Amino acid sequence: MWQTAQWGKPQNAAGAICGIIVNVTTTWTEPGSTPLALLLLGQGTDANAERGVDCPGVLPAPSDPDLVARATAAKAALGTRVFVLGHHYQRDEVIQFADVTGDSFKLAREAAARPAAEFIVFCGVHFMAESADILTSDAQQVVLPDLGAGCSMADMAALAQVEACWDRLDELFLAGSTVPVTYMNSSADIKGFVGRRGGVVCTSSNAERALRWAFERGQRVLFLPDQHLGRNTAVRQMGIDADDCVLYDPHKPGGGLTAEQLRNAKMVLWRGHCSVHGRFTLSCVQEVRHRVPGVRVLVHPECRYEVVTAADEVGSTEYIIRTIEQAPPGSCWAIGTELNLVRRLANEHPDKEIMFLDRTVCYCSTMNRIDLPHLVWALEELVAGRVVNRITVDADTARYARVALDQMLALP
């Protein structure tokens, strides 16, 4: 049953840009289940999500012709007090103001390597900003220009669900031989959970190293929250049998798995996925190969197993960029990752033919929440001495999440 609720607040700039309904949340309710708030560019806060969606303050109009000049002036006024990090999926209008661009791993390292910057403005999503807060000193403040920039995959693993899964493993005397590994795309409390239990964080560029590290310490891995990255790394890169990977569904009693299945598993994969990368299917790969003879297919490891298996190259956003930079002129590529990045690569490499793997346009809607009006607003507020949208992680969670993050940064 679909339910729609009106929120009382005035329309913000994000709604005006996108030109779609704002101030409305739509809720899908399975009979007898908890409503799932979608918060489509809405306002208010979803307590079940890893982020909030409020944007306090008055945003500049997206049509303001001075936005670029205003961002330039605000950055110049702040000088070395501010450091702007930009994930590769950010819009061009935002990326132009990033001091460093990168994948999740590079950005985490860059945040940790800037002790002199008083403010880290993170143009990315909430879990990345949380990790930056954990990896920086107490004197530094991390700002996410729009709190609506969450990640639907990170929202698929809530702490209470993960604790229930661990309790189940414990009941079966399996917890002691299981090492938890969480993808960077998870909330700080999941990273804290993993750090407390001797596990590690990984990103798409070091998942294999993290899994090898984990298997040196236990017989099985609980991999959170992206089933695809977990399966792709275990089966394709490490040669683990697909039958040794089981899927734990947090919405089913006992994860939907028998004691025997859990006991025999090498990889317990959490049933989470990225809704953007989930769009790429095997038929997208077959269709482009048929349509464009000689095309090379390059995809992110968050894509499904059959897509990654049918592709020519697989890797993180940083790997995708490097591959295109090193590709010979005249080569032809179909790329399966977020559209802002694919479009930027196509513009930057006119000597190569670069196309989006899916015929249908698809941005990461939460990455896209960070736009120039939000960036200008956040920077100008800092100039005025006000820190807006600060991301903080409580000390206890941060302490253990840092253990798991430091372990990742120290992987051989």
| Span 347-406, contacts to ligand SF4 by CB under 6 A | 364, 366-367
Question: Residue 168: which region, alpha, beta or left (left: phi > 0; alpha: psi -120 to 50)?
Answer: alpha
- Count other Cβ atoms within 10 Å, centred on residue 247: 18
- Whichever of 229 and 378 has its CB closer to ligand SF4, that residue is 229
| Residue in 130, 318, 338, 371 binding ligand SF4, rule: CB under 6 A | 338
Pick the piece of the chain touching ligand 13P (CB under 6 A) from 103-111, 190-198, 214-222, 278-286. Answer: 103-111
State both tokens at 218: 């236990």
- Whichever of 181 and 274 has its CB closer to ligand SF4, that residue is 274
| Span 139-168, contacts to ligand SF4 by CB under 6 A | 151-153
State both tokens at 119: 């403010």
Beta-carbon contacts of 2 under 8 Å, excluding residues fewer than 6 positions away, are 26, 27, 28, 29
The listed partner (ligand SF4, ligand 13P, none) that binds 152, CB under 5 to 8 Å by sort, is: ligand SF4
Under 8 Å between Cβ of 367 and 129:
no
Find the shortest distance in angstroms from Cβ 128 to ligand SF4: 8
State both tokens at 353: 């033919």
Q: Does 317 bind ligand 13P (CB under 6 A)?
A: yes
Beta-carbon contacts of 201 under 8 Å, excluding residues fewer than 6 positions away, are 131, 181, 182, 183, 184, 186, 191, 194, 210, 401, 404, 405, 407, 408
- Whichever of 153 and 201 has its CB closer to ligand SF4, that residue is 153
The listed partner (ligand 13P, ligand SF4, none) that binds 316, CB under 5 to 8 Å by sort, is: ligand 13P
State both tokens at 244: 């040794």
The listed partner (ligand 13P, ligand SF4, none) that binds 366, CB under 5 to 8 Å by sort, is: ligand SF4
Q: Does 203 bind ligand 13P (CB under 6 A)?
A: yes
| Span 170-189, contacts to ligand SF4 by CB under 6 A | 185
The listed partner (ligand SF4, ligand 13P, none) that binds 397, CB under 5 to 8 Å by sort, is: none
Pick the piece of the chain touching ligand SF4 (CB under 6 A) from 213-221, 273-281, 341-349, 394-402. Answer: 273-281
CA terminus-to-terminus distance, the chain: 50
The listed partner (ligand 13P, ligand SF4, none) that binds 407, CB under 5 to 8 Å by sort, is: none
List the 245-248 sheet strands across, edge first: 200-202, 178-183, 220-224, 267-270, 245-248
| Span 76-95, contacts to ligand 13P by CB under 6 A | 88
Give the angle subtended at the CA of 401 by the CAs of 397 and 404, to the nearest 5°: 155
Beta-carbon contacts of 321 under 8 Å, excluding residues fewer than 6 positions away, are 88, 341, 345
Q: What are phi and psi of 27, to 5 degrees?
A: -125, 130
Binding site for ligand SF4 (CB under 6 A): 125, 151-153, 185, 274-276, 338, 364, 366-367
Interface residues toward ligand 13P, by CB under 6 A: 88, 103-105, 185, 203-204, 274, 302, 316-317
